[in-house]
Amino acid sequence: MCSDFTKEVDKDNIALITWNCLDKSMNTMSEGGLKAFQKLVVEALSDDEIKGIIITSGKADFSGGMDLSTLEGLKRNSGPNPASKIFEYIMEGHRLLRIIELGKIDDTYKSKPVAFAGGGICAGIGTEIGLACHRRFFSGSKRSKIGLPEILVGLFPGLGGTTRVARMMGLMGASSVLLEGKLFAGDKAKSIGLVDEVVAEHELIQKAKNWILSASPEDLIKPWDQKGFKFPGGAPYHPGGFMSFVGASALVNGKTKGLYASAKALLSSIYEGALVDFESALKIEARWFTKVLMTDTCTNMARTLFLNKSALEKGKQRPPAVEETNLKQISVIGSGMMGSGIACASIMNGLEVLLIDQNIEAAEAGKAKIETLLNESVKRKKLSEEEKTKLLGNVKTLSSLEKISGSDLVIEAVFEDLELKHSLYKKIEPYLKKNAILASNTSTLPITKLSEALQDSTRFIGIHFFSPVEKMNLVEIIKSKQSNEKSLAVALDYVGLLKKTPIVVNDSRGFYANRCIIPYINEGLRMLSEGIEPALIENSAKHVGMPVGPLQLLDELSVSLALNVAKETKEALGNEYEETGTESILLEMSQKNRLGRKELAGFYEYDDKGRRLKLWEGLRNLNGVSKPANISTETVKNRLAYVQALEAARALEENILLSVEEGDVGGILGWGCLIWAGGPFSWLDHVGHENVVAECQKLFDQYGARFSPPKVIKELAGNGRKFYN
């Protein structure tokens, strides 16, 4: 029998069922765990001496949700009809939660008060267990959050979460919980009805016991089990409910562009479930959940955003022989937007930071940027004023390099200029302590080239943060040809300390992410120069699943940066540099001082607060833009999707990218590449490599060599294989 759950009975005859997966850092539900949990619940309800049940966790966090590898295992190992096996497994979960809710065992009712007592992270099935309990007590600690984030990995809450939340809150109230996948702090969770009481962590069990001993029979009947229950806000056949469901359908389809099967299935489950009794609604939910789970896109999203992402965060690429780093202090050289962002992320995770710039005024300006970021956290009640002050005290501003000798890691974050960085490294190296690592936050300059200024290039590595650092979770770690294992290990340990997701790549101009982002932006500019309507370009990008169009992305990055990257690349590659035909548009935009969002003028127009208003009407009149061109939306979509995915495949073929898993995780977290499909490599598998080769041939014939399929894709097409087998 699985030992994930244990049961103890106290002197008041209250059963404490504790969830504690001993072989995992987080409680996740497995097939064996579900059976063990059900056995203990039935035992407690069947024992006439037991007055009630408390369900809690033996870990700081209640649960990370369902073990997705269990669901994938059911799909793989259930013979020719896996959907039937999965449906039955989900229904078994529904039966268990209804046993908790009703106390019904076989045909006998033995209802007893069941309390949920949780804290830390409570997600997915952990929250669904709580929803089935009669009273939910949740920790008020700052790190405690509860919610149903399944939609973020291509699923939706399928163990009663969808049906219960919709019946608790109505369609509109349930939308933010189910469709946005947010995790809520205790007070917010209470205000929307996800939990009943928010208490101090050490009082959770006692408060739950007190409630059990005073609970009345009426406290054990959920609204949907009471006679005359009405769906909050109106069911679909009610005039008010009808308008809500129509509006929700339009809103979801507008946001997802029909690409995410889970969002549509979620709405269908709520709509159809609202027309029937609760038991039938659970069966409908289970059928829709099974249908979504059986899709390739769901499998791909779950694999990338759960399995592969988790493996990378647990150190999949870390050299095992290197001792774990005990970082206490780091130095950040350069206090601009990126340097201050890196410093802020570091102090937020317990590090002391020396923030160094060419003069103390510049360093203090960087510290002021950090304070602005922390003020946002105070405003959102993630930090108190006292905590903010303490964190700021961990930033020491300097204008000289001598004191970096106390840091095990020094990060350079100055302007993207090779000569500037080389000059700086020569000044840094004499002050580096023995075995300390020097890293560059460069976004495009080759790490091997940068290391040429150093006497010891083995302890130099790239740590490429994405902007803005406080929001972007991906970090690209770039090994030069000389970087040793210690450098890689320290970089990975540091990124892990920051709770970000690392991918490791070999050295090349643009590395992996920017190597793929630049062709996407250039393709948008190419189409603009061809006379294709800007709105068609931007909307086609969203319809293929990109979070922003190439012109909007360029506004976010800035025209100045794009011109500088093009200049650096051209100087470095010389005769090998391929003209894209887009530089003239960038130069003209620069001359017109339309440099992007920061300047409140770019490819889009902005108001005084930087809010995007509309595409700039002057785009059609730029000198580099041809007369309006006829082109199908499908062709625009294909050009924007293939130009990124093919470049990702080339990076893998050239051994810049070390694995397709990192390629998909990096694509999604780095620039939102084809999220609905699981990332660029999963998308290529989804399309099918024979189809990819055929479409590439059409695009190659009409638009050029950038659409020529890499050898690896031709080989996969030839032997009928995929990147993921």
**From CA 262, how far away is CA 156, in angstroms rounded?**
6
Closest CA relative to residue 651, chosen from 641, 662, 639: 662
Residues 284 and 383 in one domain: no
Determine the distance from the C-alpha atom of residue 722 to the mean position of all C-alpha atoms in its chain, rounded to a whole number.
25
* Strand partners of residue 615: 604
**Over residues 474-481, mean pLDDT:** 96
User: Residue 24's pLDDT is what?
Assistant: 87
**From CA 116, how far away is CA 17, in angstroms rounded?**
10
Q: Which amino acid is at 594?
A: R
User: Quick one: CA dihedral 260, 266, 271, 273, positive or negative?
Assistant: positive
Q: Give me the half-sphere count of Cα atoms (radius 13 Å) on the Cβ side of residue 701.
A: 5
Residues 343 and 480 in one domain: yes
Query: Which DSSP helix (H) or strand (E) runs through 36?
Result: helix 31-46
Please confirm whether the linkage preceding 446 is cis (ω < 30° from 0). Answer: no
**From CA 486, how far away is CA 492, in angstroms rounded?**
10
User: Residue 578's pLDDT is what?
Assistant: 72
Residues 345 and 451 in one domain: yes
Residues 285 and 335 in one domain: no
**Over residues 526-555, mean pLDDT:** 95
Mean pLDDT of all residues in the chain?
92
**From CA 283, how far away is CA 95, in angstroms rounded?**
10
**From CA 99, how far away is CA 89, in angstroms rounded?**
16
**Over residues 441-450, mean pLDDT:** 92
Closest CA relative to residue 303, chosen from 691, 675, 657: 675
Residues 441 and 486 in one domain: yes
CB within 8 Å of 615: residues ≥ 6 apart: 534, 535, 538, 551, 603, 604, 605
SS3 label, residue 525 = helix
**Over residues 2-26, mean pLDDT:** 92
**Over residues 469-488, mean pLDDT:** 95
**From CA 66, how far away is CA 74, in angstroms rounded?**
13
User: Residue 584's pLDDT is what?
Assistant: 87
Closest CA relative to residue 15, chosen from 5, 4, 23: 5
177, 286, 385 from 266: Cα distances, Å: 12, 11, 41
**Structure-block tokens of residue 310:** 């988790």
**Over residues 295-315, mean pLDDT:** 91
Q: Is the pLDDT of residue 577 over 70?
A: no
User: Residue 494's pLDDT is what?
Assistant: 97
Residues 394 and 281 in one domain: no
How many domains in the chain? 2
Residues 285 and 338 in one domain: no
**Over residues 479-497, mean pLDDT:** 96
Query: Which DSSP helix (H) or strand (E) runs through 388?
Result: helix 385-392
Boundaries of domain holding 273:
5-294
Residue 471 pLDDT grade (very low, low, confident, very high; cuts 50, 70, 90) = very high
User: Residue 1's pLDDT is what?
Assistant: 58
Q: Which of 416-420, 614-618, 706-710 has the lowest mean pLDDT?
A: 416-420
Domain contains 540: no
Domain contains 264: yes
Q: Give the model confidence (pLDDT) of 649-682 as tens digits.
A: 999 999 999 999 999 999 999 999 999 999 999 9
Please identify, among 268, 294, 320, the residue that sits at the C-terminal boundary of a domain: 294
Q: Is the pLDDT of residue 637 over 90?
A: yes
Residues 127 and 61 in one domain: yes
The answer to whether the CB of 185 falls within 8 A of the CB of 334 is no
Domain contains 725: no
**Structure-block tokens of residue 165:** 């939340």
Residues 94 and 27 in one domain: yes
CB within 8 Å of 523: residues ≥ 6 apart: 550, 639, 640, 643
Secondary structure (DSSP) of 575-631: GGPPP-S-HHHHHHHHHTT--BGGGTBSSEEE-TT--EEEE-GGGGG-TT--S----
Q: Give the model confidence (pLDDT) of 678-710 as tens digits.
A: 999 999 999 999 999 999 999 999 999 999 999
**From CA 142, how far away is CA 192, in angstroms rounded?**
18
Residue 373 pLDDT grade (very low, low, confident, very high; cuts 50, 70, 90) = very high
Please identify, among 510, 543, 563, the residue that sits at the C-terminal boundary of a domain: 510
Please identify, among 479, 510, 541, the residue that sits at the C-terminal boundary of a domain: 510
The answer to whether the CB of 424 falls within 8 A of the CB of 416 is no
User: Residue 233's pLDDT is what?
Assistant: 86
User: Residue 240's pLDDT is what?
Assistant: 75
Q: Give the model confidence (pLDDT) of 213-251 as tens digits.
A: 999 999 999 999 999 899 988 888 877 777 777 777 888
**From CA 681, how far away is CA 661, in angstroms rounded?**
8
Residue 63, domain CATH: 3.90.226.10
What is the percent of the chain with per-residue pLDDT over 90, rounded to a whole number?
78
Residue with tokens 């896109």: 297
Residues 72 and 195 in one domain: yes
**From CA 512, how far away is CA 463, in angstroms rounded?**
13
Residue 109 pLDDT grade (very low, low, confident, very high; cuts 50, 70, 90) = confident
**From CA 49, how far away is CA 356, in angstroms rounded?**
67
**Over residues 132-151, mean pLDDT:** 95
Determine the distance from the C-alpha atom of residue 2 to the mean position of all C-alpha atoms in its chain, rounded to a whole number.
31
SS3 label, residue 107 = coil
Residue 474 pLDDT grade (very low, low, confident, very high; cuts 50, 70, 90) = very high
Residue 58 pLDDT grade (very low, low, confident, very high; cuts 50, 70, 90) = very high
Go through the chain and tell me how many residues it has.
725
Residue 432, domain CATH: 3.40.50.720
The answer to whether the CB of 56 falls within 8 A of the CB of 18 is yes
Residue with tokens 């095990």: 408
Domain contains 124: yes
Domain contains 345: yes
Q: Is the pLDDT of residue 438 over 70?
A: yes
Residues 216 and 347 in one domain: no
Domain contains 29: yes
User: Quick one: CA dihedral 83, 89, 95, 98, positive or negative?
Assistant: negative
Residue 552 pLDDT grade (very low, low, confident, very high; cuts 50, 70, 90) = very high
Domain contains 537: no
Residue 176 pLDDT grade (very low, low, confident, very high; cuts 50, 70, 90) = confident
Dihedral pair phi/psi, residue 74, rounded to 5°:
-60, -40
**From CA 550, how far away is CA 127, in angstroms rounded?**
38
Domain contains 627: no
Residues 194 and 140 in one domain: yes
